[in-house]
Amino acid sequence: MSEGARVESERPKVDRKLRFHIPAQTIFKQDAAERVCNWNEVTLGFADDGAARTEAERCIQCPAAPCIKACPVQNDIPGALWELEQGNYLDAANIFRLTSSMPEVCGRICPQERLCEGSCVVGNQKRVPPTPPVRIGRLETFVADYQRDNGGPPKPALPEPSGRSAAVIGSGPAGLTVAEDMAKAGHRVIVYEAWPKPGGILLYGIPNFKLDKSVAEAKIAYLEELGVEFVCNTRFGVDISLAALQEEHDAVFLGHGASIGASAGLQGEDLAGIYAATDFLVRGNLHGDELPDDKREPVTLGANTVVIGGGDTSMDCVRTAIRLTTQAGGNGKVSCVYRRTEAEMPGRAEERNHALQEGVDFLFLEAPSRFVGDPAGYVTAVEFVRMELGEPDASGRRRPVTIAGSEHLVPADTVVMALGYWGDEPLAAGLGLNHKYGLLAVDSETGATNLPGVFAGGDNVRGADLVVTAIAEAKRAARGMLEYLAAEVAK
């Protein structure tokens, strides 16, 4: 970091009252009519450097900094924003990098409204009119992108090779984070990935209009420069065993995510034209040569696409569908069907609004009861049953209750099941790992599993969650692995 980067006690006191009057800066987005005709990121960011610096100045540098506590990786947000407002963009980016392996990703797709920005003191003032929180996510993106465009993250002088080696299963945010921390400590790292390219859900899930693929690709290139090796098209448990990995490596990290798409278990679910969410998203967002052979056939949408589910994955599916139908010159209808009401929808309001602006229809209080097909085996309709809300369930949300006799058919030529993701139970059970429904039990301090030298973190421990929580888990597991390897060397 340059001499400009200052710890909190060295930063001059700011005039907080004055800062409350600095106007929030506009974050530009592509218009809805324009963006459905391309796959580019919807959010464009601040007008220029000056606007980003002014937005950073809205941070009142409060000593309590609840934004840090609300961040799963505890980024020093006031410290980074101070450097940004001084124009020290690289220092600001490096402050984020002290605690996060992917500020360029988290800045774009973290649900900041319930993390850092949700706890921002500026946004939580009881003022009329209300003051928006400092737009921390977009400022994080701004400095991380500036750094990517100006030489990339610093490449540390690597220590002498340790002679030790780590295997990493899965190349999503968790696996990449562990790979980076292990490589920087001088260990040899090989990442084994089932898909043809590394990146996990950053590549094979999250659409380009939220996160351009070049962001994940730049991260992989950086890791390759650190010496990390990637072995793709290799499924752990099928193409390579734990015993083989333990033969070659001194420690193993399992970062295989929670990628088993939940099914509804309904009659007709195997009809042609019905896709699991990931199978649909990858066909829409990637080229055939980036996909395994069985997923290369492109999706062609007809008059009615129905996406079932109300979370963020569902929003990614409907917005992918809108782009596919618009860009094919069609005007197919795209509907999102959810069994509760909008108030209970689990995903981000911002994503829902994006979908609404782009022309997606929402049907609430409807649950699928079966799928109907034609004689050739293609889906033609979904039978839904109407629901009403009953008492709250364990999640605190009101439970949907079926209204008897309300079954009705909704025409559909494509259906996407976006019902959530599960852990890989057969894999966990087959390895003898302690787990619950495929989610691995790990030591809360070190990420160690019940098998010696085998660590885990990310969605395969927490269940389907967030990029930033996967990074936090992986950081903890990397520390555990480094201690484990150091202890092994000392033996």
Binding site for ligand FAD (CB under 6 A): 109-110, 169-175, 192-195, 200-201, 205-206, 210, 235-237, 255-257, 259, 281, 312-313, 316, 427, 458-459, 464-468, 470
Nearer to ligand FAD, 90 or 245 (CB): 245
The residues with which 275 forms a beta bridge, in sequence order, are 416
Question: Residue 111 Cβ, how far from ligand FAD at the closest point, in Å?
Answer: 7
Nearer to ligand FAD, 77 or 174 (CB): 174
Nearer to ligand FAD, 173 or 273 (CB): 173
3-state secondary structure of 423: coil
Question: Residue 175 Cβ, how far from ligand FAD at the closest point, in Å?
Answer: 5
Nearer to ligand FAD, 89 or 236 (CB): 236
Instruction: Report the run of H or E that residue 192 belongs to, with start and end.
Output: strand 188-192
Question: Residue 203 Cβ, how far from ligand FAD at the closest point, in Å?
Answer: 8
Nearer to ligand FAD, 178 or 381 (CB): 178
Helices (H), 304-359: 312-327, 349-357
Question: Residue 14 Cβ, how far from ligand FAD at the closest point, in Å?
Answer: 31
Question: Residue 179 Cβ, how far from ligand FAD at the closest point, in Å?
Answer: 11
Nearer to ligand FAD, 260 or 387 (CB): 260
Question: Residue 131 Cβ, how far from ligand FAD at the closest point, in Å?
Answer: 26
Question: 89-99 and 77-85 helices cross at what angle (nearest 10)?
Answer: 170
List all residues 6 or more positions away from 433 whose beta carbon is below 8 Å from its beta carbon: 254, 440, 441, 449, 450, 451, 454, 456
Return the closest-CA partner of residue 227 out of 132, 307, 323, 160: 160
Helices (H) and strands (E) in the chain, counts: 17, 20
List all residues 6 or more positions away from 173 whose beta carbon is below 8 Å from its beta carbon: 101, 102, 105, 200, 201, 202, 458, 467, 470, 471, 474
List all residues 6 or more positions away from 149 whose beta carbon is below 8 Å from its beta carbon: none
Q: Residue 209 is encoded by which pair of tokens? A: 């209009």
Question: Residue 81 Cβ, how far from ligand FAD at the closest point, in Å?
Answer: 21
- Quick check: 477 and 173 in contact, CB under 8 A? no
254 φ/ψ sector (left φ>0, alpha ψ -120 to 50, else beta): beta
Question: Residue 138 Cβ, how far from ligand FAD at the closest point, in Å?
Answer: 14
Nearer to ligand FAD, 82 or 192 (CB): 192
Matching residue, tokens 């209204």: 403
Nearer to ligand FAD, 122 or 179 (CB): 179
